[in-house]
Structure 1
Amino acid sequence: MTTIFRLDSSIRTEGSVSRAVADTLENAIIEAEGNDTRVTRRDLAADPVPTDAWATAAFAGHTPEDERTPEQQAAAALATQLADEVGAADVLIIGAPLYNFGVSQHLKTWFDLLITDPRFAGGAQTVKDKPAFLVIARGGGYGEGTPRAGWDHATGWLRRILEDVWGLDLDVIETELTLAEVTPQMAELRDLARAQLAESHEVARTSGRSVTLKLRNAA
Structure 2
Amino acid sequence: MTTRDDTMVWFDFGGVLSPPLAELFAAYETKTGISPAALQAAMQAVGDDLGAPPLAPIELAQITEREWGARLREHLAAADPGLDLTRARLETFGEQWFDGITVNTAIAAALRGLKAHGLRVGVLSNNVVEWERFWRPIIEPAGPLDAVVDSCLVGARKPDPQIFAIAEKTAGVAADQCILIDDLEQNVRAARQSGWRAIHFRTNAQASSELSRLTGVAAVL
Q: Same fold (TM over 0.5)?
A: no
More helix by share: 2
TM-score relative to the length of structure 1: 0.30
